[in-house]
Structure 1
Amino acid sequence: MCSCDHYAWILWVSFEISLELQTFIQCLHSSLNETPNLVFVLCTDFLEHFYEKYGSFIPLCESDVLEQLSQKFGPDLTHRQVVSPPLSSFRLLTASFLVCMYRVTYNKHTLTLEDLSTLDDQNWVNDQVINMYGELIMDAVNQKVHFFNSFFHRQLVAKGYEGVKRWTKKVDLFSKSLLLIPIHLEIHWSLITVDICNQQINFYDSQGITFKHVVDNILRYILAEAKEKKCAVYQKGWKMIINKSIPQQKNDSDCGVFVLEYCKCLAMKEPLQFTQEDMPKVRKRIYKELCECQLKERNPHGAN
């Protein structure tokens, strides 16, 4: 469920972005050879709808505009380069105008625009984004995968198995195919997965760091859970694997986004085929998926 101030949008378009929007339209007009009024109306309607749907222009891409225009003027837009410069300028101009009342709710999760804005540029993704995205992943695979809340490991470390035992009171972990456990240590995100069928605990880190004590924590938890649920077959025989040949980040801000992309690919049984260069698009895609409360299909040519 989303909401925004429609009248604020109208006033803002009228008084704050008219010059920038007109420049944008003129560039498109020169490329499309259509009347300025028609292009203006099409773009204004699209941008208004986009703003209402997503609460900001953070996830706005050149391809979004081109797709809308191609529906009217055909797919053969030979001057795609005219879209990018004015669109970049337009996005910068609108970045400060945010819909303070915008909300996205899904099951027990609620995201504000402040939460969603952690997906902008090189911001650090917060727990609220991590946890709601995990919920979308579980629903996308019909609950065959279980995603642990990002606070799980902290609680496990602080209070031991007894402190988290109730977290799976209504969940049979050993009926799942895969467990996804995001790990947040101070300022860095990593991921642990538990392959139930093959009894493997896998560690994924986008900076190539190994936190063996974290893997040990999860192993002890799994053994305790198996004992509690009287699953003798899972009380021994576990293997621990540190995955090294995986996509790596090249900055200090995208670890959370890498973890979400690991989670999605592993849950959907897709190869980890993305790079640091894909992160701007991945951030925008995740933002849209959260607002739409549904995962998008993966681009067969790589990260969306």
Structure 2
Amino acid sequence: MSQYNQADECSKQNECICCKNNCTVNNTNKYLGVSAIIEPEAAFKMCIDNELPISRMGYELLPEDLNRLSDGGLLNDKIINVYFEIVSKYSEQATYSFSTFFHSALRSRGVEWVQRWTSNINIFDNKLILIPIHVPGHWCLVVIDVEEMLVEYYDSLGNVDMQIVDVVIEYLRAEWSKVNDDGFRISVKLIKDIPQQQNGTDCGVFICMYARYRLEKCNKWFCSNQIKSLRKAMLNEIVAGRIIYLVPHVIG
């Protein structure tokens, strides 16, 4: 098992600062031809009229992919990868987002195999690193705060799987040794008091929102009961291929 320093568990106020049906829109009509959040059916029709599949962030999205953003839908790899690429691209902080395939490949094939994906870059040049992780039937999230050398673990069911953290740390240690001569030190925070899912299908939406709010330095979380509206906002942003809604209460 990897060695690390166990930091204090993070506690944040779980107050209702949400992306609601009347959330702020930045020039939405410029990108979607609408002035408010559109319903999933309208987005599907729009995409079909424009001859799906549509290409977003290097992925081809089909109607069945977009349909997963309807209420109760399970998000797949493509939807999560596209959204993470969008939020990383438009983040004010230098951010690197791994694909959903990274962690599974890391566990099954090992550190040296996945290092091929980052052989030409120094991941520590970023301020934040996002790793969306799929375990059987569930999505969770790891965020690396590079400046603090801190691994943050987010789970919308409150689960903790330290094997997930251990293999990430093993990879980080190997990457660190490529670009640094000094010793490798890292801490871990299990992020608590965050919005929790109320069913068995929303975990993918939760990790997307955890990532979005973390990147924008929000000091208050969204509400679990606003997930339906957040799904619509995600759909609009994926169709637009960019961030179009403001996350409220951003810290300078």
- Unmatched runs of 5 consecutive residues or more in structure 1: 1-48, 62-94
What's the offset of the Cα at 1:103?
A: 2.9
CA contact (8 A) 1:59 1:284 kept: no
Identity %: 30
Provide, for residues 21-45 of structure 1, a one-character-per-residue CA deviation record: whole Å limited to 9, x for no partner. xxxxxxxxxxxxxxxxxxxxxxxxx
Report the Cα offset of residue 205 of structure 1: 0.3
Is the alpha carbon distance of 1:298 and 1:142 closer, same or farther for their aligned partners in structure 2, counting shifts above 3 Å? closer
2:180 to 231, 254, 257: 231
1:299, CA displacement in angstroms?
4.5
Match of 1:113 in 2: 63
Quick check: 2:47–2:54 contact (8 Å CA) kept in 1? Answer: no
Supply the RMSD in Å over aligned alpha carbons: 2.7
Contact 2:144-2:152 at 8 Å conserved across structures: yes
Separation (CA, whole Å) in 1 of partners of 2:96 and 2:247:
24
Report whether the alignment pairs 1:293 with 2:238: no
Within 5 Å, give how 1:166-177 maps onto structure 2.
166-177=116-127
Does 1:179 pair with 2:129?
yes
Asked if 1 retains the 8 angstrom alpha-carbon contact of 2:102 and 2:114, the reply is yes
Greater shift after overlay, 95-104 or 288-297?
95-104
Matches of 2:57 and 2:81 in 1, distance apart?
Answer: 11
The residue number in structure 2 matching 1:130 is 80
Q: CA 1:177 to 1:299, structure 2 compared with 1: closer, same or farther past 3 Å? A: closer
Alignment-derived partner of residue 113 in structure 2: 163
Say which of 263, 270, 280 aligns to 2:228.
280
Pairing 1:1-304 to 2, within 5 Å after superposition: 57-58=39-40, 99=48, 101-141=51-91, 144-227=94-177, 229-233=178-182, 235-300=183-248
Q: How many residues align?
A: 216
In structure 2, runs of 5+ residues without a counterpart are 1-32
**1:204/1:210 CA distance change after superposition, 3 Å:** same
More helix by share: 1
Contact 1:59 1:287 in 2 (8 A): no
For CA contacts below 8 A with separation 6 or more, give which structure has more relative contact order: 2
TM-score, scaled relative to structure 2: 0.78
Off by >4 Å, runs of 4+ in structure 1: 95-98
Letter of the 2:171 partner, please give it. Answer: Y
Q: CA deviation at 1:296?
A: 2.3
TM-score with structure 1 length normalisation? Answer: 0.65
